[in-house]
Amino acid sequence: MGNEAAIPSSGQTASPKESLEGRDNLMLLEYFPELTRHPFNAEKVMDLVLQLAVQGKLTKKWREDNPEVEPASVLLEKIKEEKEKLVAEKKVRKEKQLASVSEEEIPYVVPYSWEWVRLGMIGNIFNGNSISASIKASKYEGLKDGYPFIATKDVGYGFEQIDEENGVRIPFQESKFKIARKNTVLICSEGGSSGKKMGLCTQDICFGNKLYAIEQYGDIESKYILGFYYTSIFYNLFSEKMTGLIGGISMSKFKDIPFPLPPLKEQKEIVQIVDQLKVEIDKLNRLSNERLEKKHQFVVSSMHHLTESGDAEHWNLLQDHFTDTIDELDNVKKLRETILQLAVQGKLTQKWRNEHPEALEGCKSASALLKHIQEEKEKLIAEKKIKKEKPLLPISQEEIPYALPGGWEWFRVSQLTRPGALITYGILKPVWVEDGVPTVRIKDMKNGEIDASEIAMCQEDRALKFLKTELKEGDILIAKDGGTLGKTAFVPKALEGGNITQHVLRFSVHYEINKRFVRFNIDSPLGQQFMTGETKGVALPGVNVGDFRNMLIGIPPAVEQNAIVQQVDHLMSLCDTLESHIHTRNETAEKLMKAVVEEVLEKNENDLLPQSNYLKASNGLSEN
């Protein structure tokens, strides 16, 4: 964490943990493996270490061993003299004197040899220059010589390396650009990354106007400043002073932020300790990520193989290792998607078909079911009870995405509707009133259901013009566009007689078709790809109603539809259990982290994490 890193070189034999012996022998090191089992916690551990650092708790024993060290008050006097000299030499501008930090502003008590100051007191703070994209491209990209020009996008989060080889350089002779010298700390001052993106320059650079640089006085350790920026303590102080819609902090308010200043020698000791602890954290975090990546690759590979082949042996293998390998929420999501894809391809019921031939023999085939639905509609058309629909194009071989099991049949979606129910979108330009027709919007479709708690009411006269989309219980609603394009929900009985907006499709499934099986097809990965246009090679902002009416769905005999629904329900219940297990594990890890934070931050003993409290907090963690 210092101007010169204190990480042991490859020629040294001492491990980071061994090299900490004789300082504050942190018991935290013993528990890093448990604390960093989850990547989220690894980040929290780093924040904890830095909080301890800037509070002086990592160097308590060091201060006891070095009582004669020059206090920070002496360093402040030297900084004052240095600043006055720089002003006299016209290297920095004279500024209004900053007020001392009041007791009300101090977030915590620092050791007696430290001082609370303001950021503007410890260095020259300035922002960079603005360059338009066109000028940057025409004048400064591709140059071999010059200062690297650093924009916000080139800066990472905390200890990440700034991208100083981004292909943009400012010629050395261009005097209008401000220069930040090597070891200067940068921080983003505006936008969504303000107070979060930060980094340390490894060479002299020019930089953008949305970044603040601090060239510190008195040889203050730049990596100590960076470490303070990285803490949640600093971000809270920073956030309190942010203003504006896009979020930002003015130069004057940034300079006003309180800063805990240790003696110079203690800064170097803090830097050295944090550097070595960071090595441990990074190593364990890397191992944690490697473990997660291996599991992720196994899950993705297994699910891909299942989707392609439906191999029972692979399915059994994956089931046997569900709790061992599917221990992240993203993997459970992939498992749910795979289950749906296997279901609609008939691969979940391959064994069921072999074991229940009598059920299939006594059941109406899919082709017979299709014929019956068509005959029913033709009869109602002849009786003039419903209108004749536009003829559908025959299903071509090129459209068929995969082979179906015997007894199944490809249908177009519009062939599966109940008589007289046209698949279409709802009310154009609804007129909202306090008392009217309940009307479902995309925002009311949440987690696969319709949340009617904030349902909007459309003026009745306006809604009557869109009776074609009047809702019936069990209708499938589909988000037609927007960020949740393709998401589905069933209409509950309470909303029967209501309507939908133009951003939602209504699909009433024929009573002889299991509507849940139809919904599985829409929710499946292939169904969602169709909705977004990916199966046609063109990403779409919204689904075309005509395209959706022509979407293909493979339909099995009715008895197998029901068997598939039962199997999917069972497997989705297993997914629910897996998710519950993961949430419990994550909550346990979070409780452990909170226990560590509370224990470490509240106590000043060298033994910062008593074993009894650790064991109490981590009870049951080893099983997860």
Q: Give me the amino acid identity at 372.
A: H
Q: With the CA atoms of 322, 328, 330 and 331 taken in that order, what torsion angle do they form, in degrees rounded to the nearest 10?
A: -20
* Spatial distance between the Cα atoms of 599 and 591, rounded to a whole number of angstroms: 12
pLDDT at 178: 94
Grade residue 263 by pLDDT with cuts at 50, 70 and 90.
Answer: very high
Q: Given CATH 3.40.50.300, say whether it is the number of domain 70-262.
A: no
* Spatial distance between the Cα atoms of 588 and 621, rounded to a whole number of angstroms: 7
Instruction: Read off the pLDDT of residues 501-513 as tens digits, 9 standing for 90 and up.
Output: 999 999 999 999 9
Grade residue 138 by pLDDT with cuts at 50, 70 and 90.
Answer: very high
* Spatial distance between the Cα atoms of 374 and 490, rounded to a whole number of angstroms: 25
CATH code for the domain defined by 371-556: 3.90.220.20
Residue 358 scores a pLDDT above 80: yes
Of the candidates 38, 2, 8, the residue with the CA atom closest to the CA atom of residue 20: 8
What is the SS3 assignment for 483? coil
* Parallel/antiparallel/unpaired status of strands 437-440 and 499-500: parallel
Comparison of pLDDT for 553 and 10, the residue scoring more: 553
Helices and strands in the chain, H and E counts: 23, 21
Q: DSSP letters of 437-479?
A: EEEE-GGGEETTEE-GGG-EEE-HHHHHTTGGG---TTPEEEE
* Spatial distance between the Cα atoms of 183 and 170, rounded to a whole number of angstroms: 19
Enumerate the domain spans of the chain.
70-262, 371-556
Residue 542 scores a pLDDT above 90: no
pTM: 0.62
pLDDT at 284: 74
Instruction: Read off the pLDDT of residues 283-338 as tens digits, 9 standing for 90 and up.
Output: 877 877 777 777 777 776 766 666 665 555 666 666 666 666 676 788 888 889 98
Decide whether 70-262 matches 371-556 in CATH topology: yes
pLDDT at 58: 87
The average confidence (pLDDT) of the chain is: 84
Q: DSSP letters of 116-169?
A: EEEHHHHEEEEE-B---HHHIIIIIBT-SSSEEEEPGGG--SSSSPP---SSBE
Average pLDDT of the segment spanning 340-366: 87
Across 174-190, b (16+ Cβ under 10 Å) vs e yields: eeebebbeebbbbbbbb
CA distances in angstroms from 268 to 2, 14, 55, 134, 272, listed in the order given: 7, 20, 15, 44, 6
CB 444 within 8 A of CB 455: yes
Residue 3 scores a pLDDT above 60: no
- Output the six-digit token pair for 188: 């983003």
What is the SS3 assignment for 380? helix
pLDDT at 14: 36
Instruction: Read off the pLDDT of residues 41-60 as tens digits, 9 standing for 90 and up.
Output: 666 778 888 988 999 988 98
**% the chain with pLDDT above 70:** 82
pLDDT at 604: 41
* Parallel/antiparallel/unpaired status of strands 449-450 and 445-446: antiparallel
* Parallel/antiparallel/unpaired status of strands 169-170 and 147-150: antiparallel
pLDDT at 491: 96
Average pLDDT of the segment spanning 595-613: 47
Backbone φ and ψ for 411, nearest 5 degrees, come out as -120, 150
Grade residue 588 by pLDDT with cuts at 50, 70 and 90.
Answer: confident
Grade residue 4 by pLDDT with cuts at 50, 70 and 90.
Answer: very low
pLDDT at 351: 84
* Spatial distance between the Cα atoms of 521 and 535, rounded to a whole number of angstroms: 14
CB 44 within 8 A of CB 590: no
CB 473 within 8 A of CB 380: no
In eight-state DSSP terms, residue 246 is T
* Spatial distance between the Cα atoms of 558 and 513, rounded to a whole number of angstroms: 7
CB 370 within 8 A of CB 415: yes
* Spatial distance between the Cα atoms of 135 and 331, rounded to a whole number of angstroms: 45
Instruction: Read off the pLDDT of residues 468-501 as tens digits, 9 standing for 90 and up.
Output: 999 999 999 999 988 889 999 999 999 999 999 9
Cα torsion 498, 464, 483, 454: sign: negative
